[in-house]
């Protein structure tokens, strides 16, 4: 046989193999981590993001920064997706997840450059992650949904690195009340966080923000003559066009005399008056319609002192149903007293440039609103993102009922126990398990660095402080720059957050380490560049 090479790929296809392929992928992912690294912790820095339209956003929220980055690199996008999944599943911790993933990959790259094959590294990372999850389950503090002090502390911890941190006492109390309103015993409070509606109202200051025992919807009343305020509201939530029905097919009506015209108009009016009678007989004084209400019928309603809003979107009318306790009705003839909802007050008002309808004083509402006030729209937008994170963290803890100490305490304790576990393992996997422990320390190390403290000195002090099982919650408080028991200080976060960071970070690292070749089609950008 001749030694002529066999070409199986099209001309122009680029190929990167083995060590170089891994290095390119890991370098790209490390670049993402460096972008958000300085934002971690109470003393983290902010980033200024300028979009293609020239709009400027200043934020230190990791999820918000990653969402706004225009990334073409495939490997880097995978890391961004991991961060997004944590934000969706927990509501916080995206920056920590990115830093941990990048540290695992950088440590793996060092081992690969020492001629250690990726297979034992992948296996070592897997058993280390399993051990870490086992340790978290063992040492996490169990709480009940009524441990309000711990829930507030978790909210404050989540806010420490946010722009609303100066008002963390105020917002932690408000957020806890909001989540308690929507929480049920089914252990699925996190899925109901969307039932807390945040409405931005420019003007005044953030500390004037208030929790409304009801719901806001961005809708104005159908007719200007309708009342601005309705007391003791009986509310019908319907999905029916309140107008004269048009025929589905083209039709002609032959009229031969003026009296027949009047009969035709009278018949149309009778249809509308029949609708009106249904509402009047039940004492309804507020109509929420997901469909249309004609101007003519709106005038009839206004004359009777009945208010109404129309074309209400699905998410809005579902929030209203939960708040007022009504049932959605399609057929008006079946509307009964049992289908109606109730609110002490319905108020039509203008917030900023928009018209809103406020349902307040609802009995046992499963949907509430936070009226977020602030001087500038940029401040309101940043506060809204932060408040959503805080609501999610509280809801996740209520569901899982487990917390750990923040300020790097959990990562130092895990690193200590993983190192001890590594001594029980032989072979090259031991090196990978130790590399995993080192990656865990990258998060407290970053907290220390961002606080402007001496990195080696403080990290050594932290390690030395974890002598016994009683020292498991010793961490760094970067607000006071002291090392101590962070659980007693009230620096806590969901145990589920740490679980998610470890699982997703190790899985992503192992996925990238399995890649030994990058094949890029002609004209495409190589994945690792």
The CATH code of the domain that includes 348 is 3.50.7.10
pLDDT value of residue 424: 92
Residues facing residue 357 across a β-bridge:
217, 348
The pLDDT of residue 14 is above 80? no
Dihedrals phi, psi of 376, to nearest 5 degrees: -120, 150
Q: For residues 283-308, give the mean pLDDT.
A: 93
- Asked if 513 and 121 touch (Cβ cutoff 8 Å), the reply is yes
- Same-domain pairing of 359 and 414: no
Q: Considering just the CA atoms, what is the radius of gyration of the chain in Å?
A: 30
pLDDT value of residue 259: 59
- Same-domain pairing of 341 and 442: no
Q: For residues 251-258, give the mean pLDDT.
A: 60
Other beta carbons less than 10 A from residue 514's beta carbon: 11
- Same-domain pairing of 432 and 358: no
Query: Does some domain include residue 380?
Result: no
Which range in 57-61, 93-97, 335-339 is most confidently predicted, on average pLDDT?
Answer: 335-339
User: Residues 57, 61, 402, 478: which is the catalytic one?
Assistant: 61
Q: Of 364, 395, 423, which marks where a domain is finished?
A: 364
The region of weakest confidence among 58-67, 367-376, 402-411 is: 58-67
Beta strands 229-238 and 286-289: pairing type?
A: parallel
Tokens of 200: 């931005």
pLDDT value of residue 15: 47
pLDDT category at 248 given cuts 50, 70, 90 is very low
pLDDT value of residue 477: 92
Query: Does some domain include residue 183?
Result: no
Other beta carbons less than 10 A from residue 321's beta carbon: 19
- Same-domain pairing of 106 and 244: no
User: Residues 57, 59, 95, 400: which is the catalytic one?
Assistant: 95
pLDDT category at 94 given cuts 50, 70, 90 is confident
The pLDDT of residue 61 is above 50? yes
Buried-exposed string 336-356: b where 16+ CB fall within 10 A, e elsewhere: eeebbbbbeebbbeebeeeeb
Q: Of 344, 364, 384, which marks where a domain is finished?
A: 364
pLDDT category at 87 given cuts 50, 70, 90 is confident
Other beta carbons less than 10 A from residue 187's beta carbon: 13
pLDDT value of residue 461: 94
77, with CB counted inside 10 A (0-12, 13-18, 19+), is: middle
> What would the pLDDT profile of 449-495 be if each residue is shown by its tens digit?
999 999 999 999 999 999 998 999 999 999 899 999 999 999 999 99
pLDDT category at 528 given cuts 50, 70, 90 is very low
Q: For residues 195-218, give the mean pLDDT.
A: 85
Active site residue 94: yes
- Between these two residues, 245 and 22, which has the higher pLDDT value? 22
Q: For residues 435-455, give the mean pLDDT.
A: 94
Q: Of 364, 387, 418, which marks where a domain is finished?
A: 364
- Asked if 50 and 69 touch (Cβ cutoff 8 Å), the reply is no
Q: Provide the residue range defining the domain that includes 415.
A: 14-142+404-520
- Asked if 418 and 432 touch (Cβ cutoff 8 Å), the reply is no
pLDDT value of residue 263: 55
**Axis crossing angle, helix 94-112 with helix 495-513, rounded to the nearest 10:** 40
Angle at 395 between CA 389 and CA 400, to 5 degrees: 125
Q: For residues 84-94, give the mean pLDDT.
A: 79
pLDDT value of residue 33: 87
The pLDDT of residue 168 is above 70? yes
pLDDT value of residue 258: 65
DSSP secondary structure string for all residues of 443-489: HHHHHHHHTT--HHHHHHHHHHH--SGGGTTEEEETTTTEEEEHHHH
Query: Does some domain include residue 193?
Result: no
pLDDT value of residue 77: 81
User: Residues 92, 389, 399, 477: which is the catalytic one?
Assistant: 389
Q: For residues 426-446, give the mean pLDDT.
A: 94
The pLDDT of residue 307 is above 90? yes
Does the pTM surpass 0.85? The reply is no
pLDDT category at 247 given cuts 50, 70, 90 is very low
**Axis crossing angle, helix 377-400 with helix 495-513, rounded to the nearest 10:** 100
Q: For residues 118-146, give the mean pLDDT.
A: 94
Query: Does some domain include residue 209?
Result: no
- Same-domain pairing of 126 and 230: no
> pLDDT exceeding 70 applies to what percent of the chain?
89
DSSP secondary structure string for all residues of 237-292: EE-S-BSPPPPSS-------SHHHHHHHHHHHHHHHHHHHHHHHHTT--EEEESS-
- Asked if 275 and 243 touch (Cβ cutoff 8 Å), the reply is no
Other beta carbons less than 10 A from residue 498's beta carbon: 28
Which range in 108-117, 246-255, 344-353, 370-379 is most confidently predicted, on average pLDDT?
Answer: 108-117
- Same-domain pairing of 349 and 425: no
- Same-domain pairing of 34 and 136: yes
Angle at 478 between CA 476 and CA 208, to 5 degrees: 130
- Same-domain pairing of 483 and 412: yes
- Same-domain pairing of 270 and 356: yes
The pLDDT of residue 190 is above 60? yes
Query: Does some domain include residue 424?
Result: yes
Q: Is 116 helix (H, G, I), strand (E, B) or coil?
A: coil
Q: What is the DSSP letter of 158?
A: H
Cβ-proximal residues to 202 (8 Å cutoff; 6+ apart), any chain = 351, 352, 373, 374, 375, 376, 377, 380
CATH number at residue 105: 1.10.560.10
DSSP secondary structure string for all residues of 193-214: GGGEEEEEEEBS-GGG-EEESS
pLDDT value of residue 377: 77
- Same-domain pairing of 274 and 412: no
Longest CA–CA span in the chain (Å) reads 103
Query: Does some domain include residue 388?
Result: no
pLDDT category at 150 given cuts 50, 70, 90 is very high
283: region left, alpha or beta (phi > 0 left; psi from -120 to 50 alpha) = left
- Same-domain pairing of 302 and 355: yes
Give the chain's domain count.
Answer: 2
Mean pLDDT of all residues belonging to the chain: 85
pLDDT value of residue 442: 95
Dihedrals phi, psi of 427, to nearest 5 degrees: 85, -170
Query: Does some domain include residue 238?
Result: yes
User: Residues 35, 57, 59, 94: which is the catalytic one?
Assistant: 94
The region of weakest confidence among 18-32, 146-160, 291-305, 397-411 is: 18-32
- Asked if 394 and 475 touch (Cβ cutoff 8 Å), the reply is no
Please tell me the distance from the alpha carbon of residue 322 to that of residue 362, in angstroms, as a whole number. Answer: 10
Please tell me the distance from the alpha carbon of residue 476 to that of residue 410, in angstroms, as a whole number. Answer: 11
- Same-domain pairing of 450 and 311: no
- Between these two residues, 517 and 123, which has the higher pLDDT value? 123
pLDDT category at 412 given cuts 50, 70, 90 is very high
Query: Does some domain include residue 43?
Result: yes
The pLDDT of residue 246 is above 60? no
> What would the pLDDT profile of 311-338 be if each residue is shown by its tens digit?
998 888 888 888 888 999 998 889 999 9
pLDDT value of residue 430: 95
């Amino acid at each position: 046989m001749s030694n002529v090479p066999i070409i199986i790929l099209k001309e122009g296809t680029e190929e990167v193999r083995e060590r170089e392929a891994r290095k390119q992928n890991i370098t790209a992912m490390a670049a993402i981590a460096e972008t958000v690294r300085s934002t971690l912790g109470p003393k983290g820095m902010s980033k200024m993001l300028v979009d293609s339209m020239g709009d400027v956003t200043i934020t230190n929220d990791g999820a918000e920064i990653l969402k706004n980055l225009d990334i073409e690199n495939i490997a880097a996008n995978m890391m961004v997706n991991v961060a997004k999944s944590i934000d969706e599943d927990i509501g916080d911790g995206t920056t920590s997840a990115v830093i941990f993933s990048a540290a695992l990959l950088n440590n793996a790259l060092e081992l690969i450059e020492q001629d250690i094959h990726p297979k034992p590294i992948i296996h070592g990372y897997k058993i280390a992650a399993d051990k870490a999850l086992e340790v978290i389950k063992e040492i996490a503090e169990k709480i009940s949904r009524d441990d309000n002090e711990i829930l507030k502390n978790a909210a404050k911890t989540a806010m420490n690195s946010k722009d609303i941190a100066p008002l963390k006492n105020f917002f932690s109390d408000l957020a806890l009340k909001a989540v308690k309103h929507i929480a049920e015993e089914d252990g699925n409070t996190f899925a109901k966080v969307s039932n807390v509606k945040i409405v931005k109202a420019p003007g005044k200051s953030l500390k004037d923000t208030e929790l409304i025992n009801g719901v806001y919807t961005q809708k104005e009343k159908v007719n200007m003559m309708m009342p601005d305020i309705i007391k003791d509201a009986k509310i019908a939530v319907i999905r029916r066009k309140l107008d004269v029905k048009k025929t589905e097919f083209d039709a002609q009506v032959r009229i031969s005399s003026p009296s027949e015209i009047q009969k035709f108009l009278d018949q149309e009016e009778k249809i509308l008056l029949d609708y009106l009678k249904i509402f009047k007989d039940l004492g309804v004084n507020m109509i929420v319609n997901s469909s249309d209400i004609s101007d003519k019928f709106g005038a009839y309603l206004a004359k009777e002192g009945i208010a109404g809003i129309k074309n209400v979107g699905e998410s809005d009318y579902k929030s209203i149903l939960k708040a007022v306790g009504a049932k959605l009705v399609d057929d008006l003839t079946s509307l009964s007293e049992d289908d109606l909802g109730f609110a002490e007050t319905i108020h039509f008002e203008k917030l900023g440039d928009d018209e809103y309808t406020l349902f307040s004083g609802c009995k046992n509402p499963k949907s509430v609103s936070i009226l977020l006030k602030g001087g500038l729209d940029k401040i309101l937008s940043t506060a809204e993102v932060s408040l959503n994170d805080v609501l999610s963290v509280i809801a996740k803890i209520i569901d899982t009922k487990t917390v750990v100490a923040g300020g790097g305490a959990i990562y130092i304790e895990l690193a200590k126990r993983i190192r001890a576990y590594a001594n029980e393992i032989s072979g090259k996997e031991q090196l990978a398990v130790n590399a995993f422990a080192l990656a865990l320390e990258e998060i407290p190390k970053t907290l220390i660095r961002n606080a402007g403290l001496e990195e080696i000195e403080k990290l050594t002090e932290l390690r030395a402080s974890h002598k016994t099982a009683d020292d498991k919650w010793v961490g760094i408080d970067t607000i006071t720059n002291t090392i101590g028991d962070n659980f007693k200080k009230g620096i806590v976060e969901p145990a589920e957050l740490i679980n998610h960071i470890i699982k997703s970070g190790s899985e992503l690292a192992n996925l990238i380490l399995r890649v030994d070749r990058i094949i890029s089609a002609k004209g495409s950008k190589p994945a690792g560049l």
